[in-house]
Structure 1
Amino acid sequence: MAGAVLAALAGLGGMPRATGADDAGVRIVGVLPAARTADFRRRLPALSRGEGLLTTEPAGYRPVPDGERRAGQPSQGRANRS
């Protein structure tokens, strides 16, 4: 089960930072681009047989590559003129 979750995390551009297991289950700590969080949240129940729990918090800011910008988002350094 943890392997499938780790693979999905990596497949969405994320990276695990720490893993651990105890009697309560497996814990995976990692980073994931904010734009991919909703997709990961949708996949988690199937990957964890309905037992996965996702908590999120901001981990900082990184530039978005130009090829990944969404429509309506200004590129870095350009002002958004209305």
Structure 2
Amino acid sequence: MHSSPDAGPSAPRKNSGCRVETSDAVATSLSGDAGSAASSQARASAEGRVLELCAQSGAIDCRVVFSYHNQRYAAVDA
């Protein structure tokens, strides 16, 4: 039995196993008034974006506190 290409849905595609490489950054203001996180494929882009987001909240003293590549993070402030 042969099937034509138009006979129905194709077989599900297999996951290629490739992941998207990401760089992430976290910024906060020294006064503690603002904080944000951003992700991008390039470290410089992630750091620039996170500083923009922090400043948009009204803080004038934002700085990147850490950045990382292909990892997850958790932060706690007490």
Class of the TM-score when normalised by the shorter of the 2 chains: under 0.3
Q: Please state which structure has a larger fraction of its residues in strand.
A: 2
Q: Please state which structure has a larger fraction of its residues in helix.
A: 1
Task: State TM-score, norm by structure 1.
Answer: 0.25
Task: State TM-score, norm by structure 2.
Answer: 0.26
